[in-house]
């Protein structure tokens, strides 16, 4: 019963949508279909109408455009016809003017024996007419005028005739090949004082031409052959000489700007007093060129070959010589600023009396170049090769020779400051009489060099190798040789102040008669060196290793050999007062006749025989810490009661005798005999038997005595020639 009710409800629900506003669905569809056909026909009609209207509008627009175009074409055709007629009229006019000019000039030539310049009036008239014609005619006809005058020999200056004066004429867009014979030769042409622009001379052979005082702008001389040509006092701008050959060309006092000389061969060219800016000579060949007294700015000579070129008294700014080859070049009295010689090769180049600033010679090769009496500022010779280069009497500041190779370089009498010789190889370099300040020779190699009488201050030779170098008579101040290797270096008669040789190796060094002040040889290795007759003050040999070294007749003042190892060395006749040999090893050292007054040998390894061979060890500290005393030079000076007094002393009146209050004669004294108030005793000491007066010309006598009141001691000196004088007196009253 329940399922039947549900079914009835479902059927009723399905019947409800089949009616719409009281109409059955079928009737509704029939009604809608009856309305659809008229609606579609109406829409179709509307669309067709709109399309027809659009097509009509487009057709009208096309008709309008076609009409406008036709009118424009008609106007253009009319304008073209007008222009053509004008051009034809102009052509006829210019042809007529040209023909009339030629007829008039021909007539004038006939009337003046073939010359327009012999007669002043004729020359003036011809000039005025020609200049007037130039202003009326175009470039094509103007070049015909030039050719007419050229072929009539009126533009050829000779001994018989002058060239027709066309100065101030303005010639534009002209192809001078039209004037050349067979379009290839243009000889003996004289066009002076003109204004020429946008002209072409391509591929022409030109000889004995004269363009003096002419102004050129945008000119093409490429591939020309030019000989005996004159551009005196001319102005050339935006001109192309590329791939040309120029021989015997005069550009004296000319001004050149934006000129192209690339791949050009220039020979016997005169640029004296010229001004050249923003131009290129790349890959060109320049031979016998004179640039003297010129001004060169922003030029490119890269990969250029220059031979026998004179650049004396010239000013060069921003010049590129990279990869160039320069041979027999004269830069004397020249100023060079911002110049690049990178990878260049320079042979026999003279830079004497020149000022160079910010010049780059990196990786270049210089042979027999001369920088004498020059000023070099901010110059870079890094990785370069210099052979036979002279810097005689020059001033160098902030110059780098790092990793360069210098052979037979002459830097004598030069002034060098802030110079880099880092890792540089110097062979036979001469720095004699030069002044070197703040120089870096670290890791450099110096062979057979000369620093004779040179002055060095703030110079550093860290880990450098110095071989067979002469530094005699040199003055070295605040110069450092840390870990350097010096072999056969001569410092004889040199003055060294605040110099460091720490950890250095000195082999076969010659330091004869040198003077050392505050010099540091700590941890140095010194072998086969010669310090004879040298003077060492405040010098430190701390922990140094010294062997087979000669210190004979050397004077030491506050010198320290603390912890040093000395072997097979000679200190004979040396003056080593106050020297310190604390904890030093002194094996096979010759101390004969040496003066070790107040020297310190605490903890030193030294033998008794070495002390005995010394001249003096008075008040010296022995290895065990005790003080040493020299032997008394006066025989029986300690009053030995067991010795006859008269054996050593000369007594006057025999008034003195020896006496001892002790039975063992330990405290023996000199005393007067009873009833005597005065006595004299004397003894002569022959010092020549004690030491060699050749080595010890100045001696110091030390008088020491225990005296009672009223006793005096007098020291008198008798020279070999006899005079006697009082030297000193010791008394107690």
432, part of any domain: no
Which DSSP state fits 116? Answer: S
Beta-ladder partners of 216: 196, 236
Number of domains in the chain: 3
CA distance 423 to 446: 10
Residue that finishes a domain, picked among 137, 159, 181: 159
**pLDDT given at position 9:** 46
CA distance 648 to 7: 172
- Minimum mean pLDDT among 310-324, 618-632, 680-694: which range? 680-694
Residues ≥6 apart with Cβ < 8 Å to 205? 184, 185, 186, 187, 224, 225
pLDDT, mean of residues 681-705: 72
pLDDT category of residue 732 using cuts at 50, 70 and 90 = low
Q: In this predicted model, what pLDDT tens digit does every residue of 411-446 receive, in sequence order?
A: 999 999 999 999 999 999 999 999 999 999 999 999
DSSP track, 469-503 = -B-TT-EEES-B-TT-EEES-B-TT-EEES-B-TT
* 665/691 same-domain check: no
Q: Residue 300's closest CA among 286, 313, 312, 310?
A: 286
pLDDT higher than 80, residue 605: yes
> Is the pLDDT higher at 712 or at 461?
461
pLDDT, mean of residues 69-97: 83
| CA count, 13 A, side-chain hemisphere, 279 | 25
* 639/672 same-domain check: yes
- A 10 A CB-CB count for 288 gives 16
Coil, strand or helix: which one is 260?
strand
221, part of any domain: no
> Is the pLDDT higher at 284 or at 89?
284
Beta-ladder partners of 199: 219
Cβ atoms 510, 531 nearer than 8 A: no
| CA count, 13 A, side-chain hemisphere, 89 | 6
Q: In this predicted model, what pLDDT tens digit does every residue of 267-294 receive, in sequence order?
A: 999 999 999 999 999 999 999 999 999 9
pLDDT higher than 50, residue 13: no
Q: Which residue has the tokens 């509704």?
A: 28
Beta-ladder partners of 215: 195, 235
Q: What sign has the CA pseudo-torsion 640, 644, 650, 654?
A: positive
Q: In this predicted model, what pLDDT tens digit does every residue of 354-379 receive, in sequence order?
A: 999 999 999 999 999 999 999 999 99
CA distance 443 to 335: 33
Residue 268 structure tokens? 């016997």
477, part of any domain: no
Beta-ladder partners of 359: 339, 379
pLDDT, mean of residues 699-704: 71
Cβ atoms 656, 671 nearer than 8 A: yes
650, part of any domain: yes
**pLDDT given at position 5:** 46
pLDDT, mean of residues 661-668: 72
pLDDT higher than 50, residue 256: yes
Q: In this predicted model, what pLDDT tens digit does every residue of 26-62 receive, in sequence order?
A: 676 666 767 776 777 777 788 888 888 888 888 888 8
Q: Residue 668's closest CA among 658, 655, 680, 679?
A: 658
**Measured CA angle at 29 (ends 26, 35), to 5 deg:** 145
pLDDT, mean of residues 208-220: 96
Q: In this predicted model, what pLDDT tens digit does every residue of 521-572 receive, in sequence order?
A: 999 999 999 999 999 999 999 999 999 999 999 999 999 999 999 999 999 9
CA distance 537 to 499: 12
Q: Residue 472's closest CA among 501, 448, 493, 447?
A: 493
**pLDDT given at position 694:** 66
| CA count, 13 A, side-chain hemisphere, 332 | 9
pLDDT, mean of residues 85-109: 87
How high does pLDDT run on average in the chain?
89
**pLDDT given at position 129:** 93
> Is the pLDDT higher at 716 or at 225?
225
Beta-ladder partners of 585: 565, 605
Cβ atoms 531, 550 nearer than 8 A: yes
**pLDDT given at position 4:** 42
- Specify the DSSP element, H or E, that contains 377: strand 375-380
**pLDDT given at position 157:** 74
CA distance 347 to 349: 5
pLDDT, mean of residues 332-342: 97
CA distance 393 to 374: 8
pTM of the model: 0.78
- Minimum mean pLDDT among 291-305, 632-646, 654-668: which range? 654-668
- Specify the DSSP element, H or E, that contains 219: strand 215-220
CA distance 192 to 169: 10
Coil, strand or helix: which one is 466?
strand
660, part of any domain: yes
* 149/92 same-domain check: yes
**pLDDT given at position 2:** 42
Q: Are strands 495-497 and 475-477 parallel, antiparallel or unpaired?
A: parallel
Q: In this predicted model, what pLDDT tens digit does every residue of 702-722 receive, in sequence order?
A: 777 778 887 888 887 777 666
665 burial class (0-12, 13-18, 19+ CB within 10 angstroms)?
middle
pLDDT higher than 90, residue 10: no
CA distance 230 to 252: 9
142, part of any domain: yes
Residue that finishes a domain, picked among 159, 187, 222: 159
* 140/95 same-domain check: yes
Residues ≥6 apart with Cβ < 8 Å to 701? 715, 727, 728
Residue that finishes a domain, picked among 159, 184, 209: 159
Q: What sign has the CA pseudo-torsion 612, 617, 618, 624?
A: negative
pLDDT category of residue 70 using cuts at 50, 70 and 90 = confident
**pLDDT given at position 6:** 45
pLDDT higher than 60, residue 1: no
Q: Residue 204's closest CA among 226, 178, 229, 184?
A: 184
Q: What sign has the CA pseudo-torsion 220, 222, 225, 230?
A: positive
Q: In this predicted model, what pLDDT tens digit does every residue of 379-400 receive, in sequence order?
A: 999 999 999 999 999 999 999 9
Beta-ladder partners of 266: 246, 286
Query: Distance from first CA to last CA of the chain, Å, rounded?
Result: 171
Distance of CA 327 to the CA centre of its chain: 20
**pLDDT given at position 465:** 96
Q: In this predicted model, what pLDDT tens digit does every residue of 474-523 receive, in sequence order?
A: 999 999 999 999 999 999 999 999 999 999 999 999 999 999 999 999 99
CA distance 421 to 404: 8
* 152/92 same-domain check: yes
pLDDT higher than 70, residue 189: yes
- A 10 A CB-CB count for 669 gives 14
Residues ≥6 apart with Cβ < 8 Å to 635? 647, 648, 683
**pLDDT given at position 26:** 67
Question: Domain range spanning residue 139?
Answer: 88-159
**pLDDT given at position 335:** 97
* 699/669 same-domain check: no
338, part of any domain: no
**pLDDT given at position 711:** 82
- Specify the DSSP element, H or E, that contains 612: helix 608-613
| Farthest CA pair distance, the chain | 190
**pLDDT given at position 498:** 95
pLDDT category of residue 693 using cuts at 50, 70 and 90 = low
**pLDDT given at position 24:** 66
Q: In this predicted model, what pLDDT tens digit does every residue of 154-171 receive, in sequence order?
A: 988 765 678 899 999 999
Cβ atoms 573, 594 nearer than 8 A: yes
Q: Residue 485's closest CA among 503, 498, 499, 460?
A: 503
Distances (CA, A) of 381 to 43, 290, 366, 377, 404: 94, 27, 10, 12, 7
Cβ atoms 107, 145 nearer than 8 A: no
Q: Are strands 525-527 and 505-507 parallel, antiparallel or unpaired?
A: parallel
146, part of any domain: yes
Indicate the length of the chain as a whole number.
733
- Cα dihedral 608, 610, 612, 613, rounded to 10, equals 170
* 97/132 same-domain check: yes
């Amino acid at each position: 019963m329940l399922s039947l009710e549900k079914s009835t409800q479902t059927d009723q629900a399905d019947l409800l949508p089949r009616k719409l506003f009281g109409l059955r669905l079928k009737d509704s569809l029939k009604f809608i279909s009856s309305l659809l056909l008229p609606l579609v026909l109406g829409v179709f009609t509307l669309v067709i109408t709109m399309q027809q209207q659009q097509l009509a509008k487009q057709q009208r627009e096309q008709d309008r455009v076609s009409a406008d175009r036709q009118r424009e074409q008609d106007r253009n055709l009319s304008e073209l016809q007008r222009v053509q007629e004008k051009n034809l009229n102009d052509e006829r006019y210019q042809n007529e003017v040209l023909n009339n000019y030629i007829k008039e000039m021909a007539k004038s030539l006939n009337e003046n024996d073939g010359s327009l310049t012999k007669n002043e009036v004729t020359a003036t008239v011809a000039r005025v007419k020609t200049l007037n014609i130039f202003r009326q005619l175009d470039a094509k006809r103007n070049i015909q005028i030039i050719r007419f005058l050229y072929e009539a020999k009126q533009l050829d200056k000779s001994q018989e005739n002058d060239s027709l004066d066309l100065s101030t004429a303005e010639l534009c867009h002209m192809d001078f090949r039209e004037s050349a014979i067979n379009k290839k030769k243009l000889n003996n042409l004289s066009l002076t004082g003109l204004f020429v622009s946008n002209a072409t001379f391509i591929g022409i052979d030109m000889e004995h031409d004269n363009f003096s005082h002419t102004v050129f702008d945008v000119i093409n001389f490429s591939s020309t052959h030019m000989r005996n040509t004159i551009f005196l006092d001319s102005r050339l701008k935006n001109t192309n000489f590329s791939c040309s050959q120029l021989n015997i060309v005069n550009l004296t006092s000319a001004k050149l700007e934006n000129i192209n000389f690339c791949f050009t061969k220039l020979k016997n060219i005169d640029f004296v007093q010229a001004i050249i800016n923003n131009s290129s000579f790349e890959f060109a060949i320049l031979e016998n060129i004179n640039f003297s007294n010129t001004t060169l700015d922003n030029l490119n000579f890269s990969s250029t070959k220059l031979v026998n070129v004179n650049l004396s008294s010239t000013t060069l700014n921003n010049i590129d010589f990279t990869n160039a080859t320069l041979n027999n070049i004269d830069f004397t009295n020249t100023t060079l600023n911002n110049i690049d010689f990178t990878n260049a090769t320079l042979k026999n180049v003279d830079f004497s009396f020149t000022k160079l600033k910010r010049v780059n010679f990196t990786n270049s090769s210089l042979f027999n170049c001369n920088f004498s009496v020059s000023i070099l500022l901010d110059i870079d010779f890094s990785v370069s090769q210099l052979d036979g280069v002279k810097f005689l009497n020059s001033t160098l500041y902030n110059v780098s020779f790092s990793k360069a190779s210098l052979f037979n370089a002459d830097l004598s009498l030069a002034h060098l400051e802030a110079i880099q010789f880092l890792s540089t190889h110097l062979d036979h370099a001469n720095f004699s009489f030069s002044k070197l300040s703040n120089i870096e020779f670290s890791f450099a190699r110096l062979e057979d060099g000369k620093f004779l009488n040179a002055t060095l201050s703030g110079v550093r030779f860290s880990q450098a190798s110095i071989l067979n170098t002469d530094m005699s008579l040199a003055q070295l101040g605040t110069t450092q040789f840390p870990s350097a290797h010096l072999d056969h270096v001569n410092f004889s008669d040199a003055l060294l102040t605040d110099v460091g040789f720490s950890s250095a190796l000195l082999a076969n060094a010659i330091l004869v008669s040198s003077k050392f002040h505050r010099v540091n040889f700590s941890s140095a290795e010194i072998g086969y060196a010669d310090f004879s007759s040298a003077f060492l003050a405040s010098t430190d040999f701390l922990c140094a290793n010294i062997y087979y070294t000669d210190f004979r007749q050397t004077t030491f003042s506050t010198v320290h050999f603390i912890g040093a190892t000395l072997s097979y060395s000679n200190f004979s006749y040396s003056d080593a007062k106050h020297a310190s040999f604390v904890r030093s090893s002194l094996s096979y050292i010759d101390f004969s006749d040496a003066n070790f007054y107040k020297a310190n040998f605490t903890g030193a390894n030294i033998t008794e025989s070495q002390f005995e061979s010394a001249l003096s060890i008075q008040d010296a500290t022995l290895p065990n810490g005790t003080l040493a005393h020299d032997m008394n030079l006066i025989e029986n000076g300690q009053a030995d009661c067991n010795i006859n007094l008269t054996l050593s002393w000369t007594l006057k009146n025999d008034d003195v005798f020896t006496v001892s209050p002790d039975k063992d004669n330990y405290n023996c004294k000199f005393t007067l005999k009873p009833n005597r108030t005065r006595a004299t005793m004397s003894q002569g000491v022959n010092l020549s038997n004690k030491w060699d007066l050749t080595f010890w010309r100045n001696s110091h006598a030390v008088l020491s005595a225990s005296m009672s009141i009223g006793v005096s001691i007098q020291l008198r000196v008798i020279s070999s020639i006899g005079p006697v004088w009082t030297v000193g007196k010791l008394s107690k009253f």
